Amino acid sequence: MNSPTPPKRVVLGVSASIAAYKAADLASRLVKSGVEVFPILTADAARFVQPATFRALTHHPCPIDIFEEPYPGEIAHIWLARNCDLFAIVPASMNVIARLANGLAEDMLTAAAMACTAPILLAPGMNTGMWNNPATQANLTKLRDYGYYFIEPTSGRLACRTEGVGRMADVETIFNAIHEMLARQDSWRGVKVLVTAGPTREPLDPVRYLSNRSSGKMGYALAEAARLRGADVTLISGPTAIAPPGGIKFVRVETAAEMRDAVLPYAASADIVFAAAAVADYRPSEIAAQKIKKSPGGSALALSPNDDILALLGTQKRPGQVLVGFAAETENLLVSARRKRDSKRLDWIVANDVTAEGAGFDVDTNIVTVLGKDGEEISLPLRTKREVAEQILEIVRPTQAHSSMSNLGR
Ligand code: CTP
């Protein structure tokens, strides 16, 4: 007999905004819907609402100070950070947003949030001027880049008797968003995902190599989005400057040959492969043992072709396996992408024009068209690479995975 699934665990952080009283209603609704809620207040939030309210509603302690020890034998902020499926901050004040954006972990709420690797959802609530303040807007941009999720505030009458943006979203909207995110965490459970990412480096001599401008961001975003859906993810990456997401198997390689050797053992059992790496098509035919000296008359470089890893996977593809390739182009985008899709026997290819503003290498955004083997052609407008990754997962998902289309702002 299957054991019952344990309840989902949500840390509910409450910071100092007049909307703090609504967090009590949210806590109550979440508990009634079967979610285990662990509340944390900031000291100033406790001037608006009482910890006793949250203790009574959730049947859990409601710490404020970083040095409180409400969980015997545990360092509370680490325990909370590690033991939740989702961390929600409702409302998120200007001050808490600023502290999270700048790494100031000075109370239980910010310390736990910054130690947390589960998704973090913020529902900002504040006065219009504070919301529009450039410092807040810069902090929000930072937090979006760091991967925080947001439920945008709405326009309306504020407690300060003004009208404008800054009113925290309705409790109902926040409740639904939390459940949607929790459901999404299981939507790819049991699905084996293999992602290649980044450039490869093909050595020429002990100090030089041939490479390209791939940052790895698109592949890492796909790996992370798949992990957030509960997939079993392996990321095989060439050299990049970005940290791999937590909770996945990570394999670092340098050359195209190393990438091929790392990919093949995982590819056999993968349900879906995202080949986002910009693999070098050629390598220097000879690797000089010593640094090559300049020759006044110039020099020619002999190159040998590398194996096409994705084409190889196309020839070994097992029934039901989904292969997704990427085509970075500077001209004839769709024609080239269709040709690559068909010649490599891909189910999908994600095409992007790397010359377009906001797309391609080393930027945080992308503009892509996803082309399927059955003639589907879906254009995704300019979005962050994380958003593009989430949409790609929705389009190409293998049969074992469930849809989890989200409208959450990020
Ligand atoms: N790819 C691969 N192994 C290679 C080369 C490419 O797996 N040796 C994969 C990439 O990860 C990507 C897709 O194939 O998913 C890119 O196709 P490709 O035809 O190689 O693109 P380009 O190298 O850009 O080709 P071209 O230079 O002809 O545009």
pLDDT tens figures, 363-388: 888 899 999 999 999 999 998 888 89
SS3 content of the chain, % helix, strand, coil (to 5): 35, 25, 40
Q: What values do phi and psi take at 347, rounded to 5?
A: -80, -35
Whether the predicted pLDDT of 405 surpasses 90: no
pLDDT confidence tier of residue 394, bands split at 50, 70 and 90: very high
326 lines ligand 1 (CB under 6 A): yes
- Which of the residue ranges 1-10, 270-279, 322-331 would you say has the lowest mean pLDDT? 1-10
pLDDT value for 2: 57
Mean pLDDT of 105-115: 97
Whether the predicted pLDDT of 4 surpasses 90: no
pTM greater than 0.85 (yes/no): no
Indicate the SS3 state at residue 387.
helix
Please name the residue whose Cα sits nearest to atom 4 of ligand 1: 308
pLDDT confidence tier of residue 361, bands split at 50, 70 and 90: confident
- Which of the residue ranges 14-28, 39-53, 153-167 would you say has the lowest mean pLDDT? 153-167
Please name the residue whose Cα sits nearest to atom 29 of ligand 1: 329
- Which of the residue ranges 96-100, 166-170, 280-284, 395-399 would you say has the lowest mean pLDDT? 395-399
- In this structure, are residues 359 and 352 in contact, taking their beta carbons and an 8 Å threshold? yes
| Strand partners of residue 383 | 366
324 lines ligand 1 (CB under 6 A): no
Whether the predicted pLDDT of 116 surpasses 60: yes
- Determine the CATH number of domain 9-184: 3.40.50.1950
Q: Domain 192-396 maps to which CATH number in 3.30.1360.200, 3.30.460.80, 3.20.20.60, 3.40.50.10300?
A: 3.40.50.10300
Mean pLDDT of 93-105: 98
Mean pLDDT of 58-65: 98
CA of 168 to the centre of ligand 1 (A): 46
Whether the predicted pLDDT of 313 surpasses 90: yes
What mean pLDDT is reported for the chain?
93
Half-sphere exposure of 295 (CA within 13 A, CB side): 7
Mean pLDDT of 193-203: 98
CA of 402 to the centre of ligand 1 (A): 29
Alpha-carbon distances of 288 from 200, 205, 211, 256, 279, rounded to whole Å: 18, 5, 17, 18, 22
Q: What values do phi and psi take at 368, rounded to 5?
A: -135, 160
In residues, how long is the chain?
410
Topology agreement, domain 9-184 and domain 192-396:
yes
- pLDDT-above-70 percentage for the chain: 97
Q: To test ligand 1's pocket by mutation, which of 213, 253, 279, 349 has the most ligand atoms within 8 angstroms of CB?
A: 279
Whether the predicted pLDDT of 408 surpasses 70: no
- In this structure, are residues 235 and 248 in contact, taking their beta carbons and an 8 Å threshold? yes
Whether the predicted pLDDT of 146 surpasses 90: no
Positions marked catalytic: 160
User: Which tokens belong to 341?
Assistant: 């899709």
197 lines ligand 1 (CB under 6 A): no
CA of 288 to the centre of ligand 1 (A): 26
Q: Which atom in ligand 1 lies closest to the alpha carbon of residue 276? A: 11
pLDDT value for 409: 44
Domain ranges of the chain: 9-184, 192-396
pLDDT value for 145: 78
> What's the 3-state SS for 341-370?
HHHCCCCEEEEEECCCCCCCCCCCEEEEEE
Mean pLDDT of 73-85: 96
Q: Which atom in ligand 1 lies closest to the alpha carbon of residue 280? A: 8
- pLDDT-above-90 percentage for the chain: 84
Q: Which atom in ligand 1 lies closest to the alpha carbon of residue 327? A: 16
Q: Which atom in ligand 1 lies closest to the alpha carbon of residue 263? A: 7
Kindly state the greatest CA–CA separation across the chain: 82
273 lines ligand 1 (CB under 6 A): no
74 contact partners, CB below 8 Å, separation of at least 6: none
Query: Beta strand 377-384 with 149-150: parallel, antiparallel or unpaired?
Result: unpaired
Q: Is the dihedral of CA 49, 51, 56, 62 positive or negative?
A: positive
pLDDT value for 407: 42
Q: Which atom in ligand 1 lies closest to the alpha carbon of residue 336? A: 29
277 lines ligand 1 (CB under 6 A): yes
pLDDT confidence tier of residue 406, bands split at 50, 70 and 90: very low
User: Which tokens belong to 145?
Assistant: 């880049």
Q: To test ligand 1's pocket by mutation, which of 200, 331, 335, 340 has the most ligand atoms within 8 angstroms of CB?
A: 340
Q: To test ligand 1's pocket by mutation, which of 212, 214, 306, 308 has the most ligand atoms within 8 angstroms of CB?
A: 308
